Protein backbone atom coordinates (compact mmCIF):
# COMPACT_ATOMS: atom_id res chain seq x y z
CA UNK A 1 0.00 0.00 0.00
CA UNK A 2 1.48 3.33 -1.02
CA UNK A 3 2.73 5.45 1.84
CA UNK A 4 5.18 8.08 2.97
CA UNK A 5 7.84 5.50 3.67
CA UNK A 6 7.84 4.08 0.16
CA UNK A 7 8.20 7.52 -1.43
CA UNK A 8 10.86 8.38 1.10
CA UNK A 9 12.84 5.39 -0.11
CA UNK A 10 12.86 6.89 -3.60
CA UNK A 11 14.57 10.07 -2.45
CA UNK A 12 18.37 9.72 -2.55
CA UNK A 13 20.16 10.61 0.72
CA UNK A 14 16.87 11.37 2.42
CA UNK A 15 18.34 10.95 5.89
CA UNK A 16 21.14 13.41 5.25
CA UNK A 17 18.77 15.90 3.69
CA UNK A 18 16.45 15.77 6.66
CA UNK A 19 19.37 16.21 9.01
CA UNK A 20 20.70 19.17 7.07
CA UNK A 21 17.45 20.97 6.42
CA UNK A 22 15.32 19.94 9.37
CA UNK A 23 12.35 18.91 7.24
CA UNK A 24 10.26 16.05 8.58
CA UNK A 25 9.84 12.93 6.42
CA UNK A 26 6.26 13.90 5.54
CA UNK A 27 7.32 17.40 4.44
CA UNK A 28 10.24 16.06 2.45
CA UNK A 29 7.90 13.70 0.63
CA UNK A 30 5.53 16.53 -0.20
CA UNK A 31 8.37 18.62 -1.54
CA UNK A 32 9.53 15.65 -3.58
CA UNK A 33 6.05 15.23 -5.06
CA UNK A 34 5.98 18.93 -5.81
CA UNK A 35 9.41 18.73 -7.45
CA UNK A 36 8.10 15.96 -9.68
CA UNK A 37 4.99 17.95 -10.57
CA UNK A 38 7.11 20.96 -11.53
CA UNK A 39 9.44 18.75 -13.55
CA UNK A 40 6.86 18.20 -16.26
CA UNK A 41 9.24 16.67 -18.77
CA UNK A 42 10.59 14.24 -16.19
CA UNK A 43 14.16 15.36 -16.68
CA UNK A 44 15.12 14.71 -13.07
CA UNK A 45 16.07 18.34 -12.52
CA UNK A 46 14.38 21.73 -12.81
CA UNK A 47 15.19 24.58 -15.15
CA UNK A 48 14.27 28.27 -14.85
CA UNK A 49 11.51 27.63 -17.42
CA UNK A 50 9.86 25.13 -15.07
CA UNK A 51 9.64 27.88 -12.47
CA UNK A 52 8.29 30.47 -14.87
CA UNK A 53 5.53 28.00 -15.74
CA UNK A 54 4.08 28.55 -12.26
CA UNK A 55 1.42 31.18 -12.94
CA UNK A 56 1.45 32.82 -9.55
CA UNK A 57 5.21 33.11 -9.64
CA UNK A 58 5.23 34.57 -13.15
CA UNK A 59 3.04 37.41 -11.98
CA UNK A 60 5.29 38.24 -9.03
CA UNK A 61 7.27 41.44 -9.71
CA UNK A 62 10.52 39.98 -8.41
CA UNK A 63 9.99 36.60 -10.00
CA UNK A 64 13.35 36.67 -11.80
CA UNK A 65 15.28 37.31 -8.62
CA UNK A 66 13.52 34.57 -6.70
CA UNK A 67 14.28 32.13 -9.49
CA UNK A 68 17.83 33.42 -9.55
CA UNK A 69 18.18 32.50 -5.88
CA UNK A 70 17.69 28.86 -6.82
CA UNK A 71 20.04 28.87 -9.78
CA UNK A 72 23.16 30.35 -8.24
CA UNK A 73 26.43 30.57 -10.17
CA UNK A 74 24.61 30.73 -13.46
CA UNK A 75 23.70 27.03 -13.60
CA UNK A 76 20.63 25.97 -15.51
CA UNK A 77 19.77 22.79 -13.67
CA UNK A 78 18.43 22.34 -10.16
CA UNK A 79 18.39 18.95 -8.53
CA UNK A 80 16.13 17.94 -5.66
CA UNK A 81 18.64 18.38 -2.79
CA UNK A 82 19.46 21.92 -3.89
CA UNK A 83 15.75 22.66 -4.30
CA UNK A 84 15.10 21.54 -0.76
CA UNK A 85 18.12 23.34 0.66
CA UNK A 86 16.90 26.67 -0.65
CA UNK A 87 13.35 26.07 0.58
CA UNK A 88 14.77 25.13 3.97
CA UNK A 89 15.47 28.83 4.50
CA UNK A 90 11.73 29.25 4.88
CA UNK A 91 11.16 26.72 7.57
CA UNK A 92 9.85 28.33 10.74
CA UNK A 93 12.59 28.93 13.28
CA UNK A 94 12.98 26.03 15.71
CA UNK A 95 12.50 27.63 19.05
CA UNK A 96 13.41 24.52 20.98
CA UNK A 97 16.76 23.96 19.39
CA UNK A 98 19.57 24.06 21.96
CA UNK A 99 22.14 26.71 21.30
CA UNK A 100 25.48 25.06 20.70
CA UNK A 101 28.11 27.69 20.14
CA UNK A 102 30.24 25.41 17.98
CA UNK A 103 27.58 24.09 15.62
CA UNK A 104 26.81 26.10 12.51
CA UNK A 105 23.63 28.09 12.21
CA UNK A 106 20.68 26.06 10.89
CA UNK A 107 19.61 26.99 7.39
CA UNK A 108 16.45 28.59 8.69
CA UNK A 109 18.00 30.79 11.35
CA UNK A 110 17.01 34.43 11.46
CA UNK A 111 20.40 35.39 10.21
CA UNK A 112 20.25 33.05 7.22
CA UNK A 113 16.76 34.20 6.32
CA UNK A 114 18.03 37.76 6.28
CA UNK A 115 20.98 36.68 4.15
CA UNK A 116 18.58 35.13 1.67
CA UNK A 117 16.62 38.36 1.43
CA UNK A 118 19.83 40.36 1.18
CA UNK A 119 20.84 38.20 -1.74
CA UNK A 120 17.70 39.22 -3.59
CA UNK A 121 18.98 42.77 -3.60
CA UNK A 122 22.70 42.14 -3.88
CA UNK A 123 22.84 40.56 -7.31
CA UNK A 124 26.59 40.85 -7.87
CA UNK A 125 27.27 39.27 -4.48
CA UNK A 126 29.82 41.80 -3.36
CA UNK A 127 28.29 41.96 0.11
CA UNK A 128 26.78 45.40 -0.43
CA UNK A 129 23.58 46.71 -1.90
CA UNK A 130 24.70 49.55 -4.12
CA UNK A 131 22.43 52.38 -5.20
CA UNK A 132 22.34 50.86 -8.65
CA UNK A 133 21.22 47.46 -7.33
CA UNK A 134 18.54 49.07 -5.20
CA UNK A 135 17.26 50.95 -8.21
CA UNK A 136 17.04 47.68 -10.14
CA UNK A 137 14.87 46.06 -7.49
CA UNK A 138 12.67 49.13 -7.30
CA UNK A 139 12.30 49.13 -11.04
CA UNK A 140 11.26 45.48 -10.99
CA UNK A 141 8.63 46.09 -8.32
CA UNK A 142 7.26 49.30 -9.76
CA UNK A 143 8.16 49.35 -13.46
CA UNK A 144 5.83 51.62 -15.41
CA UNK A 145 3.93 52.87 -12.40
CA UNK A 146 6.40 55.55 -11.30
CA UNK A 147 8.82 57.90 -13.03
CA UNK A 148 12.58 57.50 -13.05
CA UNK A 149 12.98 60.54 -10.80
CA UNK A 150 10.63 59.11 -8.22
CA UNK A 151 12.59 55.84 -8.30
CA UNK A 152 15.84 57.69 -7.77
CA UNK A 153 14.54 59.75 -4.89
CA UNK A 154 13.15 56.65 -3.21
CA UNK A 155 16.52 54.92 -3.61
CA UNK A 156 18.34 57.91 -2.22
CA UNK A 157 16.08 58.14 0.80
CA UNK A 158 16.38 54.45 1.56
CA UNK A 159 20.15 54.50 1.43
CA UNK A 160 20.27 57.62 3.53
CA UNK A 161 18.29 55.96 6.28
CA UNK A 162 20.06 52.63 6.34
CA UNK A 163 23.60 53.53 5.40
CA UNK A 164 25.37 54.12 8.69
CA UNK A 165 28.99 54.22 7.56
CA UNK A 166 28.24 56.59 4.74
CA UNK A 167 29.75 54.51 1.95
CA UNK A 168 26.69 54.98 -0.25
CA UNK A 169 25.82 51.30 -0.07
CA UNK A 170 24.02 49.03 2.36
CA UNK A 171 26.13 46.28 3.83
CA UNK A 172 24.63 43.15 5.36
CA UNK A 173 25.15 44.48 8.86
CA UNK A 174 23.37 47.74 8.05
CA UNK A 175 20.59 45.71 6.38
CA UNK A 176 20.26 43.57 9.45
CA UNK A 177 20.27 46.56 11.80
CA UNK A 178 17.62 48.37 9.81
CA UNK A 179 15.32 45.37 10.05
CA UNK A 180 16.03 44.31 13.61
CA UNK A 181 12.49 44.90 14.80
CA UNK A 182 10.80 43.06 11.93
CA UNK A 183 9.31 39.69 12.82
CA UNK A 184 11.41 37.73 10.37
CA UNK A 185 10.17 34.38 11.59
CA UNK A 186 6.62 35.25 10.70
CA UNK A 187 7.27 37.09 7.47
CA UNK A 188 9.88 34.85 5.97
CA UNK A 189 8.56 31.45 6.99
CA UNK A 190 6.22 29.00 5.40
CA UNK A 191 4.28 26.64 7.63
CA UNK A 192 3.21 23.23 6.45
CA UNK A 193 -0.34 22.36 7.41
CA UNK A 194 0.36 18.66 7.36
Closer to other proteins by CB, 99 or 190: give it: 190
| CB within 8 Å of 87: residues ≥ 6 apart | 21, 31, 190
Alpha carbon 136 to its chain's center: 18
Residue ranges that bind other proteins, judged by CB under 8 A: 1-5, 26, 30-31, 34, 37-38, 51, 54-63, 66, 87, 90, 116-117, 120-121, 137-138, 141-146, 150, 154, 157-158, 161-162, 170, 175, 178-184, 187-188, 190-194
Q: What is the largest CA-CA distance in the chain?
A: 63
Q: How far apart are CA 88 and CA 82, in angstroms?
A: 10
Closer to other proteins by CB, 18 or 154: give it: 154
Q: How far apart are CA 191 and CA 171, in angstroms?
A: 30
Give min distance, CB of 73 to other proteins, in A.
20
Closest CA to 84 of 31, 14, 5: 31
Closer to other proteins by CB, 18 or 138: give it: 138
Give min distance, CB of 142 to other proteins, in A.
5
Closer to other proteins by CB, 13 or 153: give it: 153
Q: How far apart are CA 79 and CA 41, in angstroms?
A: 14
Is there a contact between 16 and 88 (Cβ–Cβ < 8 Å)?
Answer: no
Give min distance, CB of 158 to other proteins, in A.
6
Closer to other proteins by CB, 34 or 97: give it: 34
Strand partners, 129: 170
Give min distance, CB of 149 to other proteins, in A.
11
Give min distance, CB of 61 to other proteins, in A.
5
Is there a contact between 107 and 85 (Cβ–Cβ < 8 Å)?
Answer: yes
Amino acid sequence: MGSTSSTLAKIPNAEDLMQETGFTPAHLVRLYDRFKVLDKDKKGFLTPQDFVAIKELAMNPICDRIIGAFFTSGGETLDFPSFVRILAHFRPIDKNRPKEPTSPDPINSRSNKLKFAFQLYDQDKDGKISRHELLQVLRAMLEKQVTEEQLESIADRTIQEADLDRDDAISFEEFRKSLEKVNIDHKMSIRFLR
